[in-house]
Amino acid sequence: MSRPVAAVLAALTACLCCPLQCAAAAAARGQQLNYRPVIGVLAQENLPGDQFAHGTSYIAASYVKFLEEAGARVVPVRINCTEEEYAKIFSTINGLLLPGGNVDIQTSQFSRAARILYNLALKANDAGDYFPIWGTCQGFQQLTVLTANKNLLTLTNTKAVALPLTFTAAAQSSRLFRSFPKDVLQSLAEENITSNFHSWSLSLQNYSRNSKLKRFYKVLSTNNDGKKEFISTMEAYRYPFYAVQWHPEKTTYEWVDKPGMVHTPSAIRACFYTASFFVSEAMKNHHHFSSPAEEEKALIYNFSPVFRGMNAIFLQNYYFD
């Protein structure tokens, strides 16, 4: 291990409790937590050529399971809602996950909905209403567009490859990684366990040239496709917004036989701690439904995922009108 990596890992492991233990410690200090968090997952337009598709939109089941494994429940957030409807949904959920996929992050209904909810989250947090957002892959990219108000992505050779994370010095003070166990951090830094399935990335160069992104996000890790260094993990300075270009959920819940898919014990542990961290952030929010009946009606348990075959990039999808 190189000295810089060793130094970062040493600093990161000063706190060795898991995210939920940290949440429990916060509760002990008098910060009331919500132990029944409900997280919204934003749907997106159906993939072209999906023979199983019905309705207009879908959510990959792996993102739902990713949150459920860490103790959250999920509400599907559909596209094509009005701003008033999104405001009502926002008032009932404790966090938002923007998933990976393949839609236009400037002109799609997914992008429109993400912008409305992102702006609601900014206003809520500014008013002291703690509301976290998580972006994975396309969700990461969507957050960069929402913050910079322009598309700064560049093509990279990262379509199906597993990589280790190159931690930055800023990771030492990050909310995300400081609660990970030492062995998980070491695996993330040294093993090819983060699954990358993207053609577009935010290069470190483009990030550094954009003042809006630099002021808003702290870079926690980077990767390199052999020609370009790109950002793989980041979190906002002032807001509980987090984004990964890699796919923690695929390790545990997707099984297509492709390069980049990793199912090792260390990769599975990294998936769990990533999910646990975000759910622990959602526990700090106290939005709620008007009644238990309204909550029950909204939960994803009312829908059944469709098995799309072992060769599908998403093993199971939920579909919505």
Using CB atoms within 10 A of its CB, is residue 112 exposed (0-12), middle (13-18) or buried (19+)?
middle
- Nearby residues of 4 by Cβ (< 8 Å), 6 or more positions away: 169
Query: Is 18 a residue of the active site?
Result: no
DSSP state of 203: B
DSSP state of 142: H
Catalytic residue chosen out of the listed positions 18, 137, 198, 271: 137
| Strand spans (E) along the chain | 38-42, 44-45, 57-60, 73-77, 95-98, 133-136, 154-163, 166-167, 194-201, 217-224, 229-236, 241-244, 306-307, 316-320
Query: Is 263 a residue of the active site?
Result: no
Question: If we measure between CA atoms, which residue out of 85, 138, 149 comes closest to residue 115?
Answer: 149
Using CB atoms within 10 A of its CB, is residue 61 exposed (0-12), middle (13-18) or buried (19+)?
buried
Pair 237, 32: CB distance under 8 Å: no
Question: If we measure between CA atoms, which residue out of 285, 278, 106, 112 comes closest to residue 200?
Answer: 106
Catalytic residue chosen out of the listed positions 18, 198, 247, 287: 247
For the four alpha carbons of 217, 181, 194 and 131, in that order, the dihedral sign comes to negative
**Residue 132 φ/ψ, nearest 5 degrees:** -90, 150
**Residue 164 φ/ψ, nearest 5 degrees:** -85, 155
DSSP state of 62: H
Q: What amino acid positions are annotated as catalytic residues?
A: 137, 247
